[in-house]
Structure 1
Amino acid sequence: MANILQAIHTIISNDIPDVVDFYRSNNKINAVGDALELFIKDIFANTLNEIDKVRKQEAYERVFSYTGNANNPPDLMLKLGDAIEVKKLKSESAQIALNSSYPTAKLYSSSQMITKACRECEQWDEKDLLYAIGCVNRHQLSSLWLVYGDCYAASPEIYHNIKTKVIAGINHSTGVEFSPTKELGRVNRVDPLGITSLRIRGMWHVEHPQKVFEYLNVSTNRKNSKFRLFTLMYEKKYLSCPLEDREKLESIDNSSLQIKKVKISFPDNPVKRIAARLITYQI
């Protein structure tokens, strides 16, 4: 079963490509975001160097139970493993646009945001959610954050309560004709002819983990690095990975790789700190 530690080992064992040019030449893709998502697929399937399209597709089928679309989370799901949401940015100072989805600690099969195909791709109720946040500058992947949602996002009710209050405030507006919707609101018959409607949508944003976890001193020597990888997970998640994969990663003799025990703020209560692992790789 593919997992995060195997993906990190794949990155360390291979050159980091100019992702856009690399995938444009091999797959004729045009979008930078598509190239980053293909890169994430390849590090988990260990197919960065696989040029045979049939064998690559067979590897994808072995590793992934679901690959998503632009409108519904997640982008990828590992068989019996994590769900993965890929986000592409041009700058590490930029906020991450989540659109209509608020930050998520876990992915649940009961979520209204996912598709039927995602819900039925395998037997599952809950999956750990991994945010893969890549900074692509001039076609080069300069940094990649692999951070688990439970390190990053609060409990669902915190976001849902805010959404509920906003919806209640909108619906209490007078002199406006509302209709049922899954969004924040929908106003019908805006103009005298009654032919125009207004959709009111939520657009969620979250700070880049580079800023959120600045207290871990993750920016060390960043100006001298061509590529930087940061992986953050709770200690219990790290220890849940197969011993063979942990030992394989820990045995790498490379000064560019560091595996640290750290403590991070609990998203629901920042006063409380949780044991975690920070894995960094800078070249």
Structure 2
Amino acid sequence: MTNILEAIATIINHPIPDLLSSKAFESFVKDAFANTINEPEPSKHEKYDEVFSWNRSNQSNPPNLMLRNGDVIEVNKIKTFSGRIQLNSSYPKSKLFSDNPQITLACRECETWTEKDILYAIGVTSKDNTKENMKSLWLIYGDCYAASPEYYEGIKDQIASGINAISDVESSETEELGRVNKVDPLNITSLRIRGMWVINHPSNIFDYLDQGYDPKKNFQIIAIMKESKYLSFPLDSRTKIESISVPGFNINTQSIKCPDNPVNLIPAKIITYKI
């Protein structure tokens, strides 16, 4: 079964300049986890079926990818390190639960599951003529990045309650923040109120780390996970990643701030590869 450690090893074992020469960032992430970066297109799909129980990289409902009996992956791409990541109607998640109303029925039933760890794959890319180059790839688990659901649900519920409390308007049930009907004299216009969530890029959030983002490098991978998550991976995968001996590769344990309470620190594994 593949995992983030296997994916990092796959990326390091392939020439960086060619990583995005002929594929979109979403496809690259998928190929990294399926170990199909250099395989011809027809032979990839059989491997995808083995690796992923859910594979809908271009659809708006979470997640983009689900490793079979493993983690789910959300893929995001921006063009600058200072850019904020657009999550649209979905607030950042520390975990993904099968009863989330945004998940499609097909995804909910693609395998037997109730809760999965969520991995955010965040890339910064730049275009040179027709070629897209990757400058950085952050692989960060949601429980290192996002607070617990009640924080986001709380503010969402307060906003929705405030909208519904407005006098002299007719509201109706909706999965958005609110919907107000009959807002004009002819009673023919409605107002839909949607939440558009954004989150800071991890290079800003984790700027306190040793071996963090280095603006002088041409390309870098930075992976962050709880130490307990790292130790949950198969010994073969941990041995493979710990045996990598190439310039620019580093793996260590550091303390990161708890997303629910930044005063508390969490032991985390930080894996970096910079060239």
User: How far has the Cα of 1:197 moved from its partner?
Assistant: 1.2
2:218 & 2:163 partners in 1: Cα distance? 48
User: How far has the Cα of 1:193 moved from its partner?
Assistant: 2.2
Contact in 2 for aligned 1:100/1:203 (Cα 8 Å): yes
User: How far has the Cα of 1:67 moved from its partner?
Assistant: 1.3
Could you tell me which of 75, 90, 101 is aligned with 1:86? 75
Q: Which amino acid aligns with 2:14?
A: N
1:66 aligns with 2:54: yes
Could you tell me which of 229, 241, 248 is aligned with 1:249? 241
User: How far has the Cα of 1:248 moved from its partner?
Assistant: 1.2
2:211 & 2:81 partners in 1: Cα distance? 12
Q: Give the structure 1 partner of residue 121 of structure 2.
A: 132
1:150 & 1:221 partners in 2: Cα distance? 24
Contact in 1 for aligned 2:207/2:213 (Cα 8 Å): no
- In the superposition, the TM-score normalised over structure 1's length comes to 0.92
Q: Give the structure 2 partner of residue 95 of structure 1.
A: 84
The alignment covers a number of residue pairs equal to: 270
User: How far has the Cα of 1:102 moved from its partner?
Assistant: 0.7
1:220 & 1:237 partners in 2: Cα distance? 22
1:144 & 1:179 partners in 2: Cα distance? 42
Higher deviation after alignment, 98-107 or 169-178: 169-178
Structure 1: 5+ residue stretches without partners? 24-34
Could you tell me which of 257, 276, 279 is aligned with 2:268? 276
Change in CA separation of 1:263 and 1:153 when aligned onto 2, cut-off 3 Å: same
Contact in 1 for aligned 2:213/2:222 (Cα 8 Å): no
Over 3 Å off, 4+ runs: 17-21, 217-221
Contact in 2 for aligned 1:18/1:141 (Cα 8 Å): no
1:90 & 1:127 partners in 2: Cα distance? 29
Change in CA separation of 1:264 and 1:221 when aligned onto 2, cut-off 3 Å: closer
Contact in 2 for aligned 1:131/1:149 (Cα 8 Å): yes
- In the superposition, the TM-score normalised over structure 2's length comes to 0.95
Could you tell me which of 222, 226, 231 is aligned with 2:223? 231
Change in CA separation of 1:260 and 1:75 when aligned onto 2, cut-off 3 Å: same
Q: Which amino acid aligns with 2:209?
A: L
User: How far has the Cα of 1:157 moved from its partner?
Assistant: 0.7
Identity, in percent, stands at: 55
1:220 & 1:4 partners in 2: Cα distance? 19
Q: Give the structure 1 partner of residue 181 of structure 2.
A: 188
Give SS of 1:166's match.
Answer: helix
User: How far has the Cα of 1:270 moved from its partner?
Assistant: 0.8
Q: Which amino acid aligns with 1:214?
A: D
1:155-176 superposed Cα distances (whole Å, 9 cap, x missing partner): 1011101111111111111121
- CA root-mean-square deviation: 1.3
Flag the structure with higher helix content: 1
